[in-house]
Amino acid sequence: MIITYFGSEFFKVQFGDITLAFNPISKDSSLKASRFGADIVFVTANHEDFNGTDQVAHGDKKPFLVAGPGEYEVRGVFIKGLPSESNYGVKNAGPSLINTIYTVSLENMNICFLGALNTPELKNETIEALDEIDILFVPIGGNGVLDAAKAYKLAVSLEPKIIIPMHYDDASLKHFLKEAGENPKPEAKLTIKKKDLEGKEGDVMVLEASS
């Protein structure tokens, strides 16, 4: 599995001949968008910083869109979407956005993508629906999503083998790493196999945003 980060909550996950895209940045966003072809695209919340599905289409082929709670099986990839909330981009105490937490099983590994989550505690039924987590993607930047301290507390409680922070700036990343008591060297991308997870317990891995 190869994981590449494009900033905000936008990730590419490649395994074999299948490419997944998580929360692609829309061309309507003020953030820098990137383009590549994906087979499956996940959108956790309907916001221009996360819903750029057109950015990950290639040629005449459009990726299969997963954009809400439910169970899916696409090309041998098993997916669960679990409902949660986000306050990202919400103004003047307006209603919360629906945010979907995704678990994805592939290559005998389970990844969990929290998206733009802002609630520091998950419902019991959500926790029960999560399988053992190998790789957890957690937002840490505050301003409508979890802040660094709450993000780390939640991440550790879910007992993943690897924690990948996202949706951060320099200050929030520094705070998160202080909470974790770790200072890993940022990597351009993460290449990992199931055997590489042995012995890991909540290890933090930081990915630099690709241009």
Predicted local distance difference test score (pLDDT) of residue 43 = 98
pLDDT of residue 94: 67
Cβ-contact 134, 110 below 8 angstroms = yes
What local confidence, expressed as pLDDT, does residue 185 receive?
92
- Burial status of residue 78 (CB atoms within 10 A of its CB: 0-12, 13-18, 19 or more): middle
Domain range for 200 is 2-204
* CATH code where residue 65 lies: 3.60.15.10
Is 210 within a domain? no
Q: Is residue 129 part of a domain?
A: yes
Residue at 209 is within a domain: no
d(CA 43, CA 20): 11
Residue 23 falls inside a structural domain: yes
Number of domains in the chain: 1
Q: Is residue 211 part of a domain?
A: no
How do residues 15-47 score in pLDDT, each as one tens digit?
999 999 999 999 999 999 899 999 999 999 999
Write the pLDDT tens digit of every residue in 161-184: 999 999 999 999 999 999 999 999
Low-confidence ranges of the chain (pLDDT < 70): 93-94, 211
